[in-house]
């Protein structure tokens, strides 16, 4: 049949991903259009813009929803760019891309038939060996999807804060007045002190680790070997030595003198 899992499977995955990206792109465009409509509807609604959940400067809801429209529109364009990378297929390259055991026109004819059947502008890779081992297009699509997911999560969290309440929501809180310390943010005080203290502790911990173990924060293998072979200190007894009584000191000194006297003199000392 002139086929191999090394060219059929990647081609099948690319065709399936193309259909999935089409549906996702359509949904993102519809959502962006909905945000644009809400931006026009809420153009006269004034709210407080916040940084770190603290009052910053006033804004209108059309600013916020218009931002969501632009964010989703940019990611929809990135999806199209990523989808263009997986239009190229390696079908016909068989095992490693050389086209072994396949007809010389198999890659061309199979790509044409698949393009007409699926309705996707597929093309055969110029170098089938390179296309067989290269998975960069899948990595690109994965990165764009992760970027889109992060932005959608941010939008959901913003809307959740706006819809908090209803009796004690964030739009109905009345903070106690306090003097402003930030010139360009009237009504806002110092940033969160707890966050600052936490950042300071983490920064101090990193600096201590760098001093002890270098920039990586962990001891190197050479440092661990030196620590394992480091000689252990010998315990020293600093307690005062007991003083001998006078008689015992005399006997002690006399015993030492015996080593320096002849044997006859030592016998005379013992007879005393």
Looking only at the bridges linking them, the beta strands covering 88-89 and 54-60 are unpaired
Greater model confidence, 61 or 258: 61
- 227: which residues sit within 8 A by CB, 6+ positions away? 219
Per 3-state DSSP, the chain is made up of helix, strand and coil in percentages (nearest 5) of: 60, 5, 35
Cβ–Cβ < 8 Å for 190, 55: no
Indicate the pLDDT class of residue 194, thresholds 50, 70 and 90. very low
The segment with the largest mean pLDDT, out of 55-69, 203-217, 253-267, is: 55-69
Give residue 94's pLDDT band: very low, low, confident or very high (50, 70, 90).
confident
Instruction: Indicate whether 72 pLDDT > 50.
Output: yes
DSSP string, 1-70: ----HHHHHHHHHHHHHHHHHHHHHHHHHHHHHHHHHHHHHTTT-EEEEEETTEEEEEEEHHHHHHHHHH
Q: Tell me: pLDDT of 25 over 90.
A: yes
Between CA 11 and CA 159, with CA 29 as vertex, the angle to 5 degrees is 120
Assess whether pLDDT exceeds 60 at residue 68. yes
Which H or E run contains 88? Answer: strand 88-89
Q: What is the per-residue pLDDT for 83?
A: 92
Looking at residue 174, its pLDDT comes to 45
* pLDDT score recorded for residue 116: 92
Higher-confidence residue: 226 or 148? 148
Instruction: Kindly report the pTM of this predicted structure.
Output: 0.60
| Most confident segment among 88-97, 125-134, 150-159 | 150-159
Confidence tier at 40 by pLDDT (50, 70, 90):
very high
Residues 128, 91: Cα–Cα separation, whole Å: 8
pLDDT digits (tens, 9 = 90+) for 213-270: 555 556 555 555 555 556 666 666 666 666 655 545 544 455 454 455 556 666 665 5
Mean model confidence pLDDT for the chain: 77
User: Which has more pLDDT, 9 or 262?
Assistant: 9
What mean pLDDT is predicted for residues 58-64?
90
Asked whether the predicted pLDDT for residue 31 surpasses 80, the reply is yes
Distances (CA, A) of 238 to 235, 241, 243: 9, 9, 15
């Amino acid at each position: 049949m002139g086929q191999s899992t090394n060219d059929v499977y990647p081609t099948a995955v690319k065709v399936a991903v193309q259909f999935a990206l089409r549906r996702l792109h359509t949904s993102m465009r519809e959502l962006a259009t909905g945000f644009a409509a809400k931006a026009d509807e809420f153009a006269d609604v004034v709210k407080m813009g916040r940084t770190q959940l603290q009052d910053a400067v006033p804004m209108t809801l059309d600013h916020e929803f218009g931002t969501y429209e632009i964010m989703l529109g940019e990611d929809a364009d990135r999806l199209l760019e990523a989808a263009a990378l997986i239009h190229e297929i390696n079908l016909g390259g068989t095992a490693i891309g050389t086209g072994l055991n396949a007809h010389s026109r198999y890659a061309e004819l199979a790509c044409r038939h698949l393009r007409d059947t699926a309705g996707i502008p597929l093309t055969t890779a110029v170098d089938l060996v390179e296309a067989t081992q290269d998975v960069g297009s899948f990595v690109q699509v994965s990165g764009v999807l992760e970027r889109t997911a992060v932005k959608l999560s941010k939008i959901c969290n913003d809307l959740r804060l706006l819809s908090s309440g209803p009796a004690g929501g964030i739009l109905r809180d009345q903070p106690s007045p306090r003097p402003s310390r930030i010139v360009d943010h009237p009504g806002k005080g110092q940033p969160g002190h707890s966050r600052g203290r936490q950042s300071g502790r983490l920064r101090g911990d990193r600096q201590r680790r760098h001093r002890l173990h270098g920039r990586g924060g962990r001891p190197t293998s050479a440092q661990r070997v030196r620590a394992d072979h480091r000689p252990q200190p010998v315990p020293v007894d600093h307690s005062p030595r007991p003083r001998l009584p006078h008689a015992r000191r005399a006997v002690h000194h006399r015993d030492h003198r015996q080593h320096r006297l002849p044997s006859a003199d030592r016998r005379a000392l013992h007879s005393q």
